Amino acid sequence: MSALLHLLAVLVVLLGALPLLVAVLQFLLIGFQRFRHLYEDRGEAYLPRVAVLVPAWNEAAVLPGSVAGLLALEYPPDRLRVHVVDDASTDETPSVMAELVRRHPGRVVHLRREHGGQGKAHTLNHGLARVLADDWAEAVLIMDADVVFDRDALRRMTRHLADPQVGAVTAYIKEGSGRRGNYLTRYIGYEYITAQAAARRAQNVLGAVACLAGGAQLHSRANLEDLGGRIDTDTLAEDTVTTFETQLAGRRVVFDGYATVLAEEPGDLAGLWKQRLRWARGNLQVTRRYRHVWFRGRSAEGRHRLGSWLFGLIWFTLLATPLLLTLCSGALLLLYLTAPTGAAWTLFHWLWVTNLVCYLLITLMSALVDPGTFRRCWREALVYPGLVATAILVVTALPGVFLPLLAGTGTLTVHLVMLVVYAWLALCMPVAWLAKELTGTRLRWLAPPLLHLAGYGSLLAACLVAAAFHELRHAELAWDKTEKTGKVAIGS
Amino acid sequence: MTPEETGTGTATETDVGTGGGDTDAAVVAAALAAAATADATVAATAGADRRPTAELTAADRRHDRRLLRGELVVLLLIALILLGLMAVGGLPWPF
């Protein structure tokens, strides 16, 4: 084995640390939001007339709760109108809406498309055309039918629009099943602390926001009009496209982590996979669509920061994580099997110590960012990397304690264990995928333990790989609606 | 305003697609009842705990400051954990 190949393997292992380093960087940025002056004091509260758009297809079970929640918002009643855009529902939605319109005349509007099924973006465009047709709406809140806003969330969001430079504001979407949830919704709850409450705070600091949450995005009228008064219909990530277009047009996008919104998330692996596959494919489409933006530095006019190196690094590292981890595992195995002097262990040890720092920082910061959700999800937070990875973290933190125990089990066992742990960064993804596959079989009881072993993040990484394959073979862009049951409610 | 916007839309606009079995109807009835309860609760508590926007903003600023201080404490804690592990020989140089 040539020294050059060994050197290459070492470099690949170091590259495998990139997702960890980028995660550490993001979490270090969180606290600096304090210096971004997001909440400038402009005297009087800014309370524009807000038209709420709720796209709905067969949402009869959740609409009454959602509409009641919206009407209960601490917002002047004469400055808030709820428009439910019914995408040709075939369930009880029309009769439910008729009742809601009767109960709240002038405050609730039912807009029905007779020919639907084209997806959320088309439904929203139907509603946007109506609310922008007259000059009543000064801002438009786009949300999902199943989300429930905290009562002060809208006021927290509108305050940012007092600055005409701000085009759109997004809220912190929290997993909302509360005590009625299961292990998977608790994983999602923790994921949303890290991926929304934490990561989007970091994006506020960077001045470039990756995505307005589809379930809670508030736009100024001027911003929507500049975007042509319509939402993109060509991708599966219309919310991300809107986010990018807003910033490319020179307006700021703000994430308000204190404006919180509860959403119902999938309670089973098959539903979660379907949802995340759509999101991941959407992100790949966005990556391709904005290829002229990445890593170009600040735009010539200084209008946006989407082209900054740091933002690009975060975006692409996230997308490349499955590839980086697979290559890293391959390189470690190569070094273990061919390099003579324990280079594999040294690199592996460094990699996992870095992982330990990352794990501690993310877990502790998540507890600080959203203590309420963390209290509910702390067990899932502790095993978020997976039980196997957590065990590796402990062993590599205290090798003097555990390695002698391992050595006592015999040479063959040691070799087998080392092969598995070196390969685990890649192996965890097919194991997580297998957990998802088992949900539709008689062995479905094996799915939760397998997911606990492999880690929730591994499932998302596997989903990203699947999304890449779907995109490569140009699979059909189907809008797969996530099943909603209406279990999220005010006060849950 | 269009008929739809005034909530007085035609039968075609508001009263179609009412298919679904008894189970669906029961779900919808339960949801509407829950919404009615929520309406009543809202009416009863309207304005009771409403905080001025300026007060919300001040609270959010305080929380941002606490988060920064918390981050510093977390970093200190991680440094102490690493030093502890280094002291028992668990970590490679320079930890």
Hey, where are the domains in chain B?
Answer: 65-95
Please compute the mean of the pLDDT values over residues A207-221 and round it to a whole number.
95
Q: Is the pLDDT assigned to residue A300 strictly greater than 60?
A: no
**pTM for this one?**
0.88
- The rounded percent of chain A whose pLDDT value lies above 70 is 94
pLDDT band at A45 (very low <50, low <70, confident <90, very high): confident
Please compute the mean of the pLDDT values over residues A92-119 and round it to a whole number.
91
Please compute the mean of the pLDDT values over residues A385-414 and round it to a whole number.
90
Are the Cβ atoms of A65 and B89 closer than 8 angstroms?
no
Mean predicted lDDT score pLDDT of chain A: 91
Are the Cβ atoms of A31 and B85 closer than 8 angstroms?
no
Tokens of B89: 């020989």
Are the Cβ atoms of A105 and B95 closer than 8 angstroms?
no
Q: What is the pLDDT of residue B4?
A: 38
Are the Cβ atoms of B60 and A100 closer than 8 angstroms?
no
Mean predicted lDDT score pLDDT of chain B: 67
pLDDT band at A179 (very low <50, low <70, confident <90, very high): confident
pLDDT band at A492 (very low <50, low <70, confident <90, very high): very low
Interface test with B, best of A364, A366, A403 (most B CBs within 10 A): A364
Please compute the mean of the pLDDT values over residues A394-409 and round it to a whole number.
88
B67 to chain A, any CB pair closer than 8 A? The answer is yes
Q: Is the pLDDT assigned to residue A50 strictly greater than 80?
A: yes
Tokens of A94: 């029309």
Q: Is the pLDDT assigned to residue A148 strictly greater than 70?
A: yes
Tell me the nearest-neighbour CA distance from A431 into chain B, angstroms: 29
- The rounded percent of chain B whose pLDDT value lies above 90 is 27
Q: Which of A54-58, A333-337, B70-74 has the highest mean pLDDT?
A: B70-74
pLDDT in tens, B17-62: 333 344 456 656 666 666 666 566 555 545 544 678 888 899 999 9
* Nearest residue on chain A to B32, alpha-carbon basis: A64
Residue A220 pairs in a beta bridge with: A139
Are the Cβ atoms of A258 and B88 closer than 8 angstroms?
no
All residues of chain B having their beta carbon less than 8 Å from the beta carbon of residue A258 are 56, 59-60, 63
Q: Is the pLDDT assigned to residue A296 strictly greater than 90?
A: no
pLDDT band at A176 (very low <50, low <70, confident <90, very high): confident
Q: What is the pLDDT of residue A478?
A: 60
Q: Is the pLDDT assigned to residue B91 strictly greater than 80?
A: no
List of domains in chain A: 3-21+309-472 (no CATH), 44-289 (3.90.550.10)
Nearest by CB to residue B24, choosing from A28, A92, A106, is A92
* Nearest residue on chain B to A68, alpha-carbon basis: B35
Please compute the mean of the pLDDT values over residues A446-474 and round it to a whole number.
95
pLDDT in tens, A28-44: 999 999 998 887 766 67
Are the Cβ atoms of A39 and B51 closer than 8 angstroms?
no
- The rounded percent of chain A whose pLDDT value lies above 90 is 76
Q: Is the pLDDT assigned to residue A138 strictly greater than 80?
A: yes
Name the more confident of B4 and A323: A323
